[in-house]
Structure 1
Amino acid sequence: MKKIITFLTICLFLVACKSKKNVISSEEVNTSLKAKEIVEWHKRSFPEFETLSGSVFASYDGGDGAQSLSLSFRMQKDKAIWLSAPLGIAKVYITPQRASYYNRLENVHFDGDFSYISKLLGFEVNFENLQNLLLGQSIYPLTKEAKLLQTDNQYYLLEMQKTPNINVVYGVNPGNFRLGFFDVLEKDSATNGKVQFSYQQVDNVLIPNTIKINTLQGNQNITIELDFNGMKVNEKVNFPFKIPSGTKEIK
């Protein structure tokens, strides 16, 4: 589970005008739907947009005090994810080809492909994983092998085995087929993580309002929260990023 915690934390990197309307799905589950049908509807629910922009309030609590930071957020679908702390003190720039980061306060930077992150995690990580997490989609691909568990009247529960050691259960909203949550269990260590989503409607595009990540490893509980504000759809965006000279490279 340490590797999964690391993966979710990496999505933050920087942590350790339309009004928004919180959207709640109120429809009940359709017990006649099969797993493959739910998987197909979830895939179709992927939000249609070209760009997203706004701010995200990120907080992290590892049990020894909470840290929080307000970040500027920009995304170009399938092409780029960009985060910036105030005054550009720290920035993240991720594309399908590479992940780049710098922090002026710590005088460090990283610039390379996803091999560094994959090495930390012990399994391959790509741009799609990060994008899906930020959009409320299945972080690991849902396939025809997904097993439909007994429903709980609030979600369709789909179980997927990522590896023999990692099991994932997705809770799919019956009204919009977006994720309400997903649970990850690492069997060897018997530790687990849970990610919960709420949504907002912006220009008829359903995107996350909040993402809450809870992980439990032994006696340590870690909570990460992302709160998206002032989100705009299909505005013109750019991604200014230049690694400051003199910073030390993370290898």
Structure 2
Amino acid sequence: MFSYRLPFISGLLAFTLLSSCHRKVVPTTTAAGPGTSTPVAAPQGMEPSLPALKPVNTAFEFLNAKGKATMELKGDKKTVSISVRMQRDKAIWMSAGLAGFEGARVLLTPDSVRVINRLENTYFAGGYDYLSQLLNVPVSFADMQALLLGDYLPAPAGSKPTLETEAGDKQRVRYPRQNVSVERLLLATTGRVQQLKVSEAAQKRSLTVDYGDFKPLEEAAGLPFANNLNVQAQQPSGATTASVSYSKVSVGSTPLEFPFDVPKGFKRTK
């Protein structure tokens, strides 16, 4: 049987939490009904100086995915099976286990974070400050959702983003956010995010999320969806790497369940 502590599995399940900043996000998608995608122009007042940037975001209502996740932290490397379910703007549910045994379960809503650790008979219930402290990067539900889906988030109002065209029909957007520098690399032909990079020079911290193995989702009008995600976080204390490979992804309007019941006898942890 395998073992790992709550911070480890939480970090593994929440690799998508590694985001650029804590903010109230203005959605970049136009509702076009479940199972569709649409090119998204920056909302009014957000990046008006970048008319050439035309990101394409997902617009389906429910997502159900299965795959494998691997995370290496301070020499401790684990690979587990994962299940991910999502209802847009409302819930993100994740489960990880090995050999048919569930080790941890996570349920995120816009205002709460809940984690069950079956290996230690503990659970957590609180806000996003927990994940922000765990990952040393402030995060929100909107950040989680965008990173999980590989969607584009515009620069916040008041910032001055820049756009550079690179080889291979790629567009790189840069802008400052509080004390960090944020970069997003998009493929102009598809409008999909290829990479997210966040760096903080003063603290010598950086985060890079690479999206790969794009495959069309038939239920989403052939929208290219990243089936592989690779994350590398660098801090003064060392590097953390994580990778996720989906073997099955389905989207649509069929409702999904997000079961989350804390077993009797489990102790709450801070």
TM-score (norm 1): 0.77
| Pair 1:11-2:45 in alignment | no
| 1-structure distance, mates of 2:244, 2:137 | 24
1:226 aligned residue: 244
| CA separation of 1:249 and 1:139: change in aligned 2, threshold 3 A | farther
Larger RCO: 1 or 2 (CA < 8 Å, sep 6+): 1
2:257 aligned residue: 238
For residues 1-251 of structure 1, what are the structure 2 equivalents within 5 Å? 11-12=14-15, 36-39=50-53, 41-42=54-55, 45-85=56-96, 86-120=100-134, 124-138=138-152, 141=155, 145-149=160-164, 151-163=166-178, 165-198=179-212, 199-203=214-218, 204-218=222-236, 220-234=238-252, 235-251=254-270
Over the residues paired in the alignment, what is the CA RMSD in angstroms? 2.7
| 2-structure distance, mates of 1:121, 1:103 | 18
| 2-structure distance, mates of 1:154, 1:223 | 28
Q: Which has the higher strand share?
A: 2
Counterpart residue identity of residue 238, structure 2: Q
User: The residue matched to 1:37 in structure 2 has which SS?
Assistant: coil
Counterpart residue identity of residue 72, structure 1: S
| 1-structure distance, mates of 2:65, 2:156 | 29
Gaps of at least 5 residues in structure 1 are 1-6, 14-33
CA contact (8 A) 2:13 2:106 kept: no
- How many residues in Structure 1 have an aligned counterpart in Structure 2? 221
Cα displacement string for residues 23-69 of structure 1 (whole angstroms, at most 9, x for unaligned residues): xxxxxxxxxxx952244x22xx1112111112031100135142111
Q: Which has the higher helix share?
A: 1
Cα displacement string for residues 71-104 of structure 1 (whole angstroms, at most 9, x for unaligned residues): 1211111111111234444211111121111011
Please report how far the alpha carbon of residue 150 of structure 1 lies from its aligned counterpart in structure 2 after TM superposition.
5.3
Please report how far the alpha carbon of residue 180 of structure 1 lies from its aligned counterpart in structure 2 after TM superposition.
0.8
Please report how far the alpha carbon of residue 142 of structure 1 lies from its aligned counterpart in structure 2 after TM superposition.
5.8
CA contact (8 A) 1:47 1:206 kept: no
Please report how far the alpha carbon of residue 145 of structure 1 lies from its aligned counterpart in structure 2 after TM superposition.
2.3
| CA separation of 1:35 and 1:8: change in aligned 2, threshold 3 A | farther
| CA separation of 1:124 and 1:195: change in aligned 2, threshold 3 A | closer
| 2-structure distance, mates of 1:177, 1:223 | 26
Counterpart residue identity of residue 258, structure 2: F
| 2-structure distance, mates of 1:155, 1:78 | 29
User: The residue matched to 1:243 in structure 2 has which SS?
Assistant: coil
| 1-structure distance, mates of 2:132, 2:209 | 21
Q: State percent identity of aligned pairs.
A: 25
| CA separation of 1:200 and 1:150: change in aligned 2, threshold 3 A | closer
Please report how far the alpha carbon of residue 120 of structure 1 lies from its aligned counterpart in structure 2 after TM superposition.
4.8
Counterpart residue identity of residue 148, structure 1: L
| 2-structure distance, mates of 1:105, 1:8 | 15
